[in-house]
Amino acid sequence: MEGMEDLLGRLNLSSEEKKTIKIGAGKESSVVAKPYRPRAVAKLLTEKNVGTEVIVDSVGWIWCPTKGISCKDMKDNIFLVTFNQESGLRKAVDDGPWTISKEVLIVEVFDGSKAIEEYEFKTIPIWMRVERLPLV
């Protein structure tokens, strides 16, 4: 089995490919990795069209009271929410249920490998109080 260097040494690129690919040029990469930003995808279950400012104004101050959130409208009342602190993501995902004007807001952790259509938005955390439950 040939080594990778031997295989690459015999690689023939067209003049067009040589213009766009630079491997091992000896310079530092100009590509800068984006810093990790905690994100979630949220869907507001309503027939009305809602803007990003509604999400930011309604729950942004609850999720990230000191640093805030930013919000991008994806489509059909689905939003990509970026948190400026990690604790905001945990609060948004774990401390629900969330409502805005009596409409349910479902929040899921953002997964960059999923398309928006792949999010199911079918789980809502709820609190239930049970009184007079006998302990047997």
- Distance between CA 97 and CA 109 in Å, rounded? 15
Give yes or no for residue 9 having a pLDDT over 50. yes
User: How many CA within 13 A on the CB side of residue 117?
Assistant: 0
- Distance between CA 117 and CA 58 in Å, rounded? 25
Give yes or no for residue 89 having a pLDDT over 80. yes
Q: 135 lies in a domain?
A: no
The CATH number for 52's domain is 3.30.70.330
Q: Which pLDDT belongs to residue 82?
A: 96
Q: Which pLDDT belongs to residue 21?
A: 47
- Distance between CA 128 and CA 109 in Å, rounded? 24
Residue 44's nearest CA partner among 23, 65, 34, 58 is 58
Q: 88 lies in a domain?
A: yes
DSSP classification of residue 56? I
- Distance between CA 22 and CA 29 in Å, rounded? 11
Report how many domains make up the chain: 1
| Span 44-70, average pLDDT | 94
Q: 44 lies in a domain?
A: yes
Contact 94, 63 (CB under 8 A): no
Residue 71 is part of which domain span? Answer: 39-111
Q: 24 lies in a domain?
A: no
Which amino acid makes up residue 41?
V
Q: 91 lies in a domain?
A: yes
Give yes or no for residue 24 having a pLDDT over 60. no
pLDDT digits (tens, 9 = 90+) for 94-133: 998 999 999 999 999 999 899 999 999 988 888 889 999 9
**Between residues 36 and 30, which one has the greater pLDDT?**
36
- Distance between CA 136 and CA 126 in Å, rounded? 25
Residue 66's nearest CA partner among 42, 92, 85, 93 is 85
Give yes or no for residue 75 having a pLDDT over 50. yes
